[in-house]
């Protein structure tokens, strides 16, 4: 290319970026309204006991709260780990010998500082979305003294419905297609009288449940099961299969060795071990299943798990759920009502009711009660979750009729949650759950609908994925409505961040820019409440490509002392302290858009507008252009021929790549350490930010022709009064 051509291109590039473009705010009608102390929150999850002890002390807690997040959502992690939650270590066992089903004490006594999960001994999962590397299934553990048992609360005794309406199942994965013609089942009590053995034709039935079909083996239907250990010839000729399912629809209703004194021992289905393979003409069974008590076993999944357990099942005490007394008295909630969970999938209605009674007795303020955790990640069928949901709702409303209950806290998908199609071919998990509530006349028990938002896979977040966020969050909310969630039922994102796997991306400016788009687009689309995850400072953990990452807003040292803020901390401040009025009342949200794009349909600048209760208009502009600044005018438009602009003093707050850079190196010199305030040389493998802020502030005089500078890769809040408004 010639010298003149290069100069021409450079001048053209400069002129393109120098020319002011427009952000237009549609003020003809608000799209939403919110109150920050009810809407803009953060989540606290199970973390190490050491982290609990250190994070709730000063100055850590005060520094954390400087982010501006207000209400807190208490995340319930034991559901993900297939554990029974002893929210109160004090309580009673259903069996007088000290085992069975545990109910925490509703009577306040000593302060509850920590609470723990008890891994369930009747588990049928090798792994699920919460326990990929922990625990194992009792179906293929090689021990005939152990067994899987389904949840008794999904039987007719508790649902009031035929067991055939809540079929229980187990799925076996042979890892690769194998020749199969027989199955051997070592039943425990109770066993299945009626069941079918089926094989899958298609892709993965667990992660792609609509891309294939279940077919019953030619001789796979059993209508008069007798229990014991049985070997069934499924077909005369072997069939090549990878996935096999047992689908159980009628129980023997016989009792486990724990006896008939507790009816929960006598309902559902129980299997000691499953063997799958071929039966040759000489009568020998050739097993394809690997039976080991670890993650190397042949993998199985199950429909549900019996929450029966005993004291010896207590899991690790290094990780803990924060005790409710500590949670509500430490200051982390700011004294605001908190969203609290009840365990549903691996618990009992009595224990959940006792939890609420305890909180009421203590006088702790509760905003909402979230029912269960990630039912889709536990592969629970929607009708089963619906049956449990209603039993728990009944028990909780006996304690307090005013409770606002909701769920199901989906895992964070960007598309409709699908499950195996029902008899009518319907595969939408949400649609079928809503149908179940409607059919039982209980849709009013769903006071809110909750889901998590982790839009990207760890290690796969190129810069261009920032362009997707506004569409992702808006689209998924529309899907829930199309599935049948009523328009008047509020939508909550009760946990969210970039990915469910921490990575170095969380430390980069990328994470801050994403956060602004995420919060802004959710509120513009009508969301009721959103909770950033994770609120409290956490140490780095292994992330992508051997690089460490954290969900938290700070880096911390080995003693959990805050070292420096990360990008999401400063952007949280922009959202909560600059864009919104932190201590204000109702904010009105208005749609806003820019005409700044990359020529390929990607908006380089997005914008989110609110009218605050102090009368000021506030526009949060996100420049997603990694390299280039952009200059914009801001127009407030009520109709095609009537618009206005900022007038008078306009406050501008900015944070971006000019104020923050992440460096994934090994050593660094800190001219001003966060804690000591002295020059310090730090050796680290976790990287550091330099600079790490602060937010810049400036002021201009607003008018129709005022041009606002949006630096490259930045979030800018522009706030002031609008002429005539």
**Residue 670: its H or E element:** strand 667-670
Percent of the chain with pLDDT over 90: 87
CA 288/CA 338 separation, integer angstroms: 50
Tokens coding 37: 């102390």
What span, in angstroms and rounded, lies between the C-alpha atoms of 401 and 320? 30
DSSP 348-374: -HHHHHHHHHHHHHHT--EEEEEESS-
Give me the pLDDT at residue 503, please. Answer: 81
Q: Is residue 671 pLDDT above 70, yes or no?
A: no
Distance from the Cα of residue 203 to its chain's centroid? 25
Q: How far is CA 585 from its chain centroid?
A: 28
Tens-digit pLDDT profile for residues 384-405:
999 999 999 999 999 999 999 9
Higher pLDDT, 133 or 318: 318
Average pLDDT in the 117-134 region? 90
Worst-scoring range by mean pLDDT, 179-183, 375-379, 395-399?
A: 375-379
Helix (H, G, I), strand (E, B) or coil at 250: strand
- Judge whether 136 and 297 are in contact, CB under 8 Å: yes
- 3 by DSSP, 3-state: which? helix
Pair 561, 475: CB distance under 8 Å:
no
> Would the pLDDT of 3 be above 60?
no
Above 50 in pLDDT, residue 344?
yes
In CATH terms, is domain 35-111+314-588 a member of 3.20.20.80?
A: yes
Mean pLDDT of 408-420: 93
Give the separation between CA 372 and CA 358, rounded to whole angstroms: 18
Joined tokens for residue 180? 């199969």
Is the pLDDT assigned to residue 683 strictly greater than 70? no
The residue-averaged pLDDT of 152-158 equals 98
Q: How confident is the model at residue 12 (pLDDT cuts 50, 70, 90)?
A: very low
Q: CB pairs under 8 A, 24+ apart, for 324-328?
A: 324/87, 324/88, 324/112, 324/115, 324/355, 324/358, 324/359, 324/362, 324/364, 325/111, 325/112, 325/113, 325/362, 326/52, 326/56, 326/111, 326/112, 326/113, 326/114, 327/44, 327/74, 328/362, 328/364
Q: Where are the beta strands (DSSP E) in 17-98?
A: 21-26, 32-34, 40-44, 47-48, 72-74, 83-86, 91-95
- Band (13; pLDDT cuts 50, 70, 90): very low
Say how far apart CA 172 and CA 175 lie, in whole Å: 9
pLDDT at residue number 412 = 86
Distance CA 356, CA 279 (A): 54
Q: Could you read off the pLDDT of 416-471 as tens digits, one per residue?
A: 999 999 999 999 999 999 999 999 999 999 999 999 999 998 777 889 999 999 99
CATH number of 148-306: 2.60.120.260
Q: How far apart are CA 474 and CA 486, in angstroms?
A: 16
Please report the pLDDT score of residue 5 as a whole number. 41
Torsion, Cα 86 87 92 96, to 10 degrees, reads -10
Model confidence pLDDT, tens digit, residues 524-534: 999 999 999 99
The model's pTM is: 0.93
pLDDT attached to residue 367: 98
**Mean pLDDT across the chain:** 93
CA dihedral 208, 213, 219, 220 (to 10 degrees): 40
pLDDT digits (tens, 9 = 90+) for 66-121: 999 999 999 999 999 999 999 999 999 999 999 999 999 999 999 999 999 999 99
Note whether 250 and 192 are within 8 A (CB). Answer: yes
ω into residue 106 within 30 of 0, thus cis? no
Task: Give the helix ranges, DSSP H, for 345-467.
Answer: 349-362, 382-399, 429-439
What are the DSSP E strand ranges found in 421-553? 448-453, 491-496, 529-532, 541-542, 548-549
Residue 204 has pLDDT above 70, yes or no: yes
pLDDT at 677: 61
Cα(500)–Cα(362) distance, rounded to whole angstroms? 34
The pLDDT assigned to 680 comes to 61
Mean pLDDT over 468-495 rounds to 97
Strand-pairing partners, residue 594, are: 23
Pairing of strands 630-639, 642-644: antiparallel
Q: What is the pLDDT of residue 676?
A: 57
Q: How many CA atoms lie within 13 A of 16 on its CB side?
A: 12
Query: Across-strand partners of 593?
Result: 24
pLDDT of residue 541: 82
pLDDT digit string (tens) for 228-250? Answer: 999 999 999 999 999 999 999 99
Instruction: Classify residue 613 by burial, with Cβ atoms within 10 Å: 0-12, 13-18, 19+.
Output: middle
**Between 2.60.40, 1.10.10, 1.10.1760, 2.50.20, what CATH number should domain 21-28+597-722 receive?**
2.60.40
35-111+314-588 matches 148-306 in fold = no
Spatial distance between the Cα atoms of 196 and 56, rounded to a whole number of angstroms = 53
Q: Which of 44, 99, 119 is nearest to 76 (CA)?
A: 44
Is the pLDDT at 174 greater than 70? The verdict is yes
Does pLDDT of 479 surpass 70?
Answer: yes
Closest to 351 (Cα-Cα) out of 23, 127, 129, 89: 89
Q: For residue 10, name the pLDDT band (cuts at 50, 70, 90).
A: very low
What's the pLDDT score for residue 264?
98
User: With b meaning 16 or more CB within 10 Å and e meaning fewer, what string describes 428-462?
Assistant: bbbbbbbbbbeeeeebebbebbbbbbbbbebeebe
pLDDT mean over 594-604:
94
Domain residue limits, the chain: 21-28+597-722, 35-111+314-588, 148-306
pLDDT at 682: 53
> How many Cβ atoms from other residues are within 10 Å of residue 79's Cβ?
26
Residue 337, Cα to own-chain centre: how many angstroms?
A: 21
Please provide residue 57's backbone torsions phi and psi, each rounded to the nearest 5 degrees.
-95, 160
pLDDT for residue 131 is more than 80: no
In angstroms, the CA 137 to CA 132 distance is: 12
Per-residue pLDDT at 536 exceeds 80: yes
């Amino acid at each position: 290319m010639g010298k003149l051509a290069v100069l021409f291109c450079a001048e053209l590039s400069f002129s393109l970026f120098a020319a002011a473009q427009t952000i237009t705010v549609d003020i003809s009608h608000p799209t939403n309204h919110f109150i920050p102390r009810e809407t803009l929150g953060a989540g606290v999850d199970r973390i190490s006991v050491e982290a609990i002890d250190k994070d709730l002390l000063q100055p850590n807690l005060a520094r954390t709260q400087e982010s501006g997040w207000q209400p807190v959502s208490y995340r319930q992690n034991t559901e993900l780990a297939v554990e029974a939650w002893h929210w109160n270590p004090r309580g009673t066992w259903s069996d007088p010998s000290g085992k069975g089903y545990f109910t925490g004490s509703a009577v306040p006594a000593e302060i509850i500082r920590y609470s723990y999960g008890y891994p369930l001994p009747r588990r049928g999962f090798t792994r699920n979305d919460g326990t990929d590397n922990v625990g194992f299934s009792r179906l293929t553990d090689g021990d005939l003294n152990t067994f899987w048992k389904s949840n008794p609360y999904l039987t007719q005794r508790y649902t009031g419905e035929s067991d055939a309406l809540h079929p229980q199942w187990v799925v076996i994965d042979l890892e690769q297609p194998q020749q199969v013609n027989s199955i051997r089942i070592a039943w425990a009590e109770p066993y299945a009288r009626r069941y079918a053995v089926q094989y899958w034709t298609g892709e993965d039935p667990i992660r792609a449940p609509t891309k294939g079909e279940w077919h019953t083996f030619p001789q796979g239907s059993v209508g008069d099961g007798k229990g014991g250990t049985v070997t069934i010839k499924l077909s005369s000729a072997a069939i090549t299969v990878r996935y096999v399912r047992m689908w159980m629809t009628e129980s023997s209703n016989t009792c486990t060795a724990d006896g008939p004194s507790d009816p929960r021992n006598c309902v559902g289905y129980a299997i000691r071990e499953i063997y799958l393979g071929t039966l040759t003409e000489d009568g020998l069974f050739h097993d394809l299943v690997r039976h080991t008590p670890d993650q190397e076993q042949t993998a199985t999944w199950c429909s549900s798990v019996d929450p029966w357990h005993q004291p010896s099942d207590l899991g690790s005490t290094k990780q803990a759920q924060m005790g409710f007394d500590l949670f509500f008295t430490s200051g982390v909630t700011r004294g605001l009502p908190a969203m609290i969970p009840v365990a549903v999938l691996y618990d009992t209605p009595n224990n959940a009711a006792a939890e609420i009674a305890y909180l009421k007795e203590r006088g702790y303020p509760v905003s909402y009660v979230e029912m269960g955790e990630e039912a889709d990640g536990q592969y629970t069928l929607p009708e089963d979750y619906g049956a449990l949901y209603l039993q728990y709702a009944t028990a909780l409303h006996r304690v307090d009729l005013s409770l606002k209950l909701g769920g199901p806290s989906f895992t964070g998908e960007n598309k409709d949650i699908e499950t195996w199609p029902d008899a009518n071919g319907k595969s939408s998990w949400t649609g079928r759950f809503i149908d179940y509530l409607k059919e039982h006349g209980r849709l009013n028990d769903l006071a809110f609908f909750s889901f998590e938002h982790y839009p990207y896979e760890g290690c796969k977040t190129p810069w261009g994925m920032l362009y997707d966020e506004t569409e992702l969050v808006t689209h998924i909310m529309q899907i829930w409505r199309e599935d049948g969630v009523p328009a008047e039922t509020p939508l909550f994102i009760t946990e969210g961040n970039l990915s469910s796997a921490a990575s170095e991306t969380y430390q980069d400016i990328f994470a801050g820019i994403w956060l602004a788009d995420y919060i802004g687009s959710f509120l513009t689309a009508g969301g009721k409440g959103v909770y950033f995850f994770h609120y409290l400072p956490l140490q780095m953990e292994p992330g992508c490509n051997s690089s460490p990452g954290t969900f938290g807003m700070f880096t911390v040292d080995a003693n959990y002392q805050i070292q420096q803020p990360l990008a999401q901390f400063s952007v949280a401040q922009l959202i909560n302290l600059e864009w919104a009025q932190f201590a204000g009342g109702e904010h009105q949200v208005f749609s806003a858009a820019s005409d700044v794009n990359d020529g390929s349909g990607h908006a380089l600048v997005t914008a989110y507008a609110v009218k605050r209760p102090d009368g000021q208009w506030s526009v949060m502009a996100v420049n997603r252009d990694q390299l280039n600044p952009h200059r914009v005018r801001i127009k407030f438009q009520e109709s095609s021929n009537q618009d206005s602009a900022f007038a008078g003093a306009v406050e501008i707050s900015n944070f971006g790549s000019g104020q923050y850079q992440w460096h994934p190196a090994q050593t660094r010199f800190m001219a001003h350490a966060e804690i000591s305030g002295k020059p310090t040389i730090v050796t680290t493998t976790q990287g550091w930010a330099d600079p790490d802020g602060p937010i810049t502030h400036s002021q201009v005089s607003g008018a129709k022709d005022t041009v606002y500078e949006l630096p490259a890769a930045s979030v800018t809040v522009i706030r002031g009064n609008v002429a005539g408004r």
